[in-house]
Amino acid sequence: MPWGGDEESHPESCSTQDVLVYTSAGLVVCGVICMVVGYTVPRDYTFNPYARARDMEAIEIYYANLSLKLDLTIVIGMAFIAIGGIVMSTLITYVNCCETKTPATAYSESTTIISTPGGRSYGTRAGTGPTRPPVHNDIAMWER
């Protein structure tokens, strides 16, 4: 039974971070769709010299209102994209900076950044730094 009452058959519940990621991605997608609609719908009309003036005026008013609504759709799409980007960047900043780390994971992360696969580290610890041979046998420069 695929949707039974067992806990093992249900996937894990989404965390708050997952919901925020999906929400921000959805906002960005909705914003892009709004902008595509706003830019692809034609805004102009063809002038018909044989039509009555009242009909042409009604057509001009219709297209002016359509243009206003399409501009509003574009602005709303930009707002959706901006809000989605703000939510996503805030979430990424929170995950990278503010989550608590255990001392073991913090130590392992810091050592993996510094150490090399061969076991040698090229840091500035006392006595292990690289030495350069004296240039032109200038001993006075090395004795300072």
Let me know if residue 44 belongs to a domain: yes
Residue 28 has pLDDT above 90, yes or no: yes
Q: What is the pLDDT of residues 63-110, one digit of tens each?
A: 999 999 999 999 999 999 999 999 999 999 988 888 766 665 555 555
Let me know if residue 9 belongs to a domain: no
Let me know if residue 3 belongs to a domain: no
| Domain coverage including residue 68 | 14-94
Let me know if residue 101 belongs to a domain: no
Residue 134 has pLDDT above 80, yes or no: no
Let me know if residue 142 belongs to a domain: no
pTM score: 0.59
Rounded Cα distance between 125 and 61, Å, is 78
Confidence (pLDDT) at 1 = 44
Let me know if residue 141 belongs to a domain: no
Helix, coil or strand: residue 62: helix
In terms of Cα–Cα distance, which of 47, 67, 70 is closest to 57? Answer: 47
Specify the number of domains making up the chain.
Answer: 1
